[in-house]
């Protein structure tokens, strides 16, 4: 099996004039070709060789999503080095940790803010560090090398050096480092091999029928394996183009212009889309409300049949075509989804109610489960075999079992090689060839996996009841008035919650709306899982404040420490 860099360079020869990337410049989307992509990779790779980067060295990338990010990543793999993405939202101290832990020889930055982080901490590092700026960045500092000056070094690389490095790549050789986003403690460096990447990418192509005519949008941090899969690895094995969003804040506008056929979104993105649609629904008159209600019922029945792999039948098919013309197509065009044929969610749990609601509008989102250590996917819902409320069946070629204690275990060609510089963590996570996920779950009667919680996040009340906080938080956030929530109560008599409201959804009385939401959730859960008290916060959790990971998961320990006084007030008595 070919490696990712070998496939990229093959595409550059096979389809040199086909579009590989597009970026928004001067008010329009400007494409660049596979031929240009391949030439950029070759130049950067030879420049790395000329700079003295050897097999096994690390090339760090500290930048927002853009073509230069991908070029640096693929070029590093091409010469046998390991690219290591660093989240651009990381602080200077967090950047220093990754550079020091990985021993990176080169770091590539995209703007002055990232350069300043590196400039502030590079004297603290033991290794000599080459700092390369992406195209468009100019810094007057002897320790900074502009992109053009760096790639000009390619002429100094020995003849045939790149071909030799590419030929030497083996399936089990380390290919990339994925630093976990660190919901607890320091991030660990997941070592993924060339076979991990190639196997997972080709499996995704076959499983989802991805083709050269597809188009996706890159917007989640490329330091995350899921975004790399859709922006770098899968395109390499298919040859389809990627559009780079200007930012996550402008994603909605970019989607409308790009009109992707394949789209991967974390739950927060899908939840925001759902909330926006619900706001639109409240403004409809009675006649339009009845029409949309009829269309939603048609959409529900269509999704149920398609998810089960069944034909629609003549009558339902005719109703569906009418609902499309009158409702679905117009709504999807406003979302930028009028050409969408594959929608995926992963990286965190999502409420099945969100998926059911979107499916009623002909946007069927397939939930995938996994982690960096499994190169992304472990199980997946796919078209024709999707069950909302589950994370699907095992990924092709992957064994998935549930241990006696409920932990989800897996093994297969997608399972990582280990953690860099952490043999103890590797031994505990990879025991007897099985990847221990740390997640709890069970299979349903049709072989679909249901994730029920995370071992380390389980709250044990003073009465000995084990509670998954995430399940309750998901129920709370189903209510439009609650934007975010964190459940607390470990070692306490009862559960409580920190709540971030969405005032736009309150309907006038915010306190009453939140109370109704909490009461409704309490009616749906067992007595020990009920929220007895809650505290409304005056600002949202954020990545910048360190309360969310870059993939928008709660950093519970940070939030608990920051709001220790507020949590203490929720438990006025002893214990």
3-state secondary structure 173-239: CEEEEEECCCCCCCCCEEEEEHHHHHHHHHHHHHHHCCCCCCCEEECCCCCCHHHHHHHHHHHHHHC
Is the distance from CB of 533 to CB of 526 less than 8 angstroms? Answer: no
Q: Which of 257-261, 416-420, 509-513 has the lowest mean pLDDT?
A: 509-513
- Average pLDDT over every residue of 396-408: 96
Q: Around Cβ 74, how many Cβ atoms within 10 Å?
A: 26
224 neighbors 346 (Cβ within 8 angstroms): no
Distance CA 419, CA 55 (A): 18
Asked if residue 528 has pLDDT above 90, the reply is no
The tens digit of pLDDT for each residue in 231-251 reads 999 999 999 999 999 998 999
Residue pLDDT, tens place only, 3-54: 999 999 999 999 999 999 999 999 999 999 999 999 999 999 999 999 999 9
Determine the 3-state secondary structure of 482 from DSSP.
strand
Count of CA atoms in the C-beta half-sphere (13 A) of 425: 17
Q: Measured between alpha carbons, how far is 498 from 484 in angstroms, rounded to an integer?
A: 8
Cα(97)–Cα(82) distance, rounded to whole angstroms?
17
pLDDT at 94 exceeding the cut of 50:
yes
Q: Using the predicted structure, report yes or no on whether residue 506 has a pLDDT greater than 70.
A: no
Mean pLDDT check: name the lowest of 97-101, 112-116, 207-211, 463-467: 463-467
Is the confidence at residue 336, as pLDDT, over 50? Answer: yes
Structure tokens at 382: 């796919």
The residues with which 133 forms a beta bridge, in sequence order, are 109, 146
Residue 507: per-residue pLDDT: 64
Quote the tokens at residue 250.
Answer: 């402008």
Topology of the domain covering 458-569: GMP Synthetase; Chain A, domain 3 (3.30.300)
Residue 468 pLDDT grade (very low, low, confident, very high; cuts 50, 70, 90): confident
Q: Based on the number of CB atoms within 10 Å of its own CB, is 262 exposed (0-12), middle (13-18) or buried (19 or more)?
A: buried
Please give the pLDDT value at position 156.
95
Distance of CA 148 to the CA centre of its chain: 31
What are the backbone angles phi and psi of residue 55, rounded to the nearest 5°?
Answer: -55, 135
* pLDDT score recorded for residue 461: 83
Q: Do domains 4-260 and 458-569 have the same CATH topology?
A: no
Mean pLDDT of the region 300-325: 98
Closest CA to 441 of 410, 416, 464: 410
Residue 422: predicted pLDDT: 96
In this prediction, residues 513-523 reach a mean pLDDT of 94
Look at 295-309, 501-515, 523-537 and tell me which has the smallest mean pLDDT: 501-515
365-371 and 376-380: which strand pairing? antiparallel
- In the chain, the N- to C-terminal Cα span, in Å, equals 58
Give the separation between CA 341 and CA 297, rounded to whole angstroms.
Answer: 20
Question: What residue segments make up the domains of the chain, in order of their start?
Answer: 4-260, 266-363, 458-569
Strands (E), 93-143: 106-109, 130-133
**Mean pLDDT in the chain?**
94
325 or 553, which is more confident?
325
Whether the pLDDT of residue 312 is over 90: the answer is yes
Whether the predicted pLDDT of 490 surpasses 90: no
Q: Any idea which of 60-64, 292-296, 404-408 has the lowest mean pLDDT?
A: 404-408
- Determine the topology of domain 4-260 in CATH: Rossmann fold (3.40.50)
What is residue 252's predicted lDDT score, i.e. its pLDDT?
A: 95
Instruction: Read off the pTM.
Output: 0.88
pLDDT value, residue 104: 98
Measure the CA–CA gap between 349 and 338, rounded to whole angstroms: 26
Task: Calculate mean pLDDT across residues 486-513.
Answer: 87
Give the pLDDT of residue 173: 98
DSSP string across 407-456: EEEEEETTS--EETT-HHHHHHHEETTEEEEEEEEEE-TTS-EEEEEEGG
CB 147 within 8 A of CB 68: yes
What percent of the chain shows pLDDT beyond 70?
98
Q: Render pLDDT for 415-455 as a digit per residue (tens, 0 to 9).
A: 999 999 999 999 999 998 899 999 999 999 999 999 988 88
**Tokens in use for 288?**
């339009």
User: Among 148, 108, 135, 146, which Cα is nearest to 23's?
Assistant: 135
The band of 575, judged by pLDDT with boundaries at 50, 70 and 90, is very low
* pLDDT of amino acid 465: 75
Q: Rounded to an integer, what is the distance from CA 66 to the centroid of its chain?
A: 16
pLDDT of residue 522: 94
- What's the confidence (pLDDT) of residue 185? 66
* Percent helix, strand and coil across the chain, each to the nearest 5: 40, 25, 35
Say yes or no to pLDDT of 183 above 60: no
């Amino acid at each position: 099996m070919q490696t990712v860099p070998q496939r990229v360079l093959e595409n550059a020869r096979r389809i040199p004039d086909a579009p590989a990337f597009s970026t928004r410049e001067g008010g329009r989307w400007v494409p660049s070709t596979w031929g240009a992509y391949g030439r950029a990779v070759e130049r950067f790779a030879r420049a790395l060789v000329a700079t003295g980067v050897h097999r096994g060295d690390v090339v760090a990338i500290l930048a927002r999503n853009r073509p230069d990010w991908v070029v640096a990543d693929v070029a590093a793999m091409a010469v046998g080095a390991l690219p290591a993405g660093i989240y651009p939202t990381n602080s200077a101290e967090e950047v220093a940790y990754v550079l020091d832990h990985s021993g990176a020889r080169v770091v590539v930055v995209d703007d002055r803010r990232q350069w300043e982080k590196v400039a502030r901490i590079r004297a603290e590092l033991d290794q000599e560090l080459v700092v390369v700026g992406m195209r468009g960045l100019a810094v007057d500092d002897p320790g900074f090398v502009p992109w053009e000056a760096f790639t000009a070094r390619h002429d100094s690389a020995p003849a045939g050096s790149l071909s030799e490095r590419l030929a030497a790549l083996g399936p089990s050789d380390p290919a990339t480092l994925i630093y976990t986003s660190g919901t607890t403690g320091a991030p660990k460096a997941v070592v993924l091999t060339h076979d991990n990447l190639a196997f997972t990418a080709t499996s995704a192509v076959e499983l989802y029928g991805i083709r050269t005519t597809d188009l996706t949008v890159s917007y989640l941090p490329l330091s995350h394996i899921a975004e790399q899969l859709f922006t770098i690895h899968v395109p390499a094995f298919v040859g389809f183009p990627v559009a780079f969003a200007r930012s996550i804040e402008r994603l909605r506008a970019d989607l409308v212009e790009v009109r992707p056929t394949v789209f991967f979104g974390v739950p927060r993105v899908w939840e925001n889309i759902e909330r926006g649609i619900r706001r639109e629904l409240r403004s409809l008159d009675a006649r339009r409300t009845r029409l949309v209600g009829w269309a939603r019922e048609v959409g529900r029945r269509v999704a149920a049949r398609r998810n089960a792999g069944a034909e629609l039948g003549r009558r339902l098919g005719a109703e569906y075509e009418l609902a499309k013309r009158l409702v679905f197509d117009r709504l999807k065009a406003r979302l930028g989804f009028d050409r969408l044929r594959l929608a995926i969610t992963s990286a965190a749990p999502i409420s099945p109610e969100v998926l059911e609601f979107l499916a009623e509008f002909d946007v069927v989102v397939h939930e995938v489960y996994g982690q960096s250590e499994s190169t992304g996917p472990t199980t997946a819902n796919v078209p024709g075999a999707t069950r909302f409320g589950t994370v699907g069946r095992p990924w092709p070629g992957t064994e998935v079992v549930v241990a006696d204690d409920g932990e989800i275990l897996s093994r297969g060609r997608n399972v990582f090689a280990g953690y860099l510089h952490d043999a103890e963590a590797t031994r505990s996570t990879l025991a007897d060839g099985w990847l221990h996920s740390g997640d709890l779950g069970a299979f349903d009667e049709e072989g679909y996996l249901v994730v029920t919680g995370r071992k380390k996040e389980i709250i044990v009340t003073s009465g000995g009841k084990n509670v998954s906080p995430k399940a309750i938080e998901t129920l709370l956030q189903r209510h439009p008035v609650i934007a975010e929530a964190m459940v607390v109560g470990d070692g306490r008599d009862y559960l409580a919650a920190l709540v971030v409201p969405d005032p736009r959804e309150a309907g006038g009385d915010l306190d009453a709306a939140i109370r109704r939401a909490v009461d409704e959730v309490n009616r749906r859960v067992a007595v020990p899982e009920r929220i007895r008290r809650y505290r409304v916060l005056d600002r949202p959790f954020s990545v910048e404040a360190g309360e969310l990971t870059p993939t928008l998961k709660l950093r519970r320990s940070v939030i608990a420490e920051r709001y220790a006084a507020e949590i203490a007030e929720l438990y006025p008595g002893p214990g």
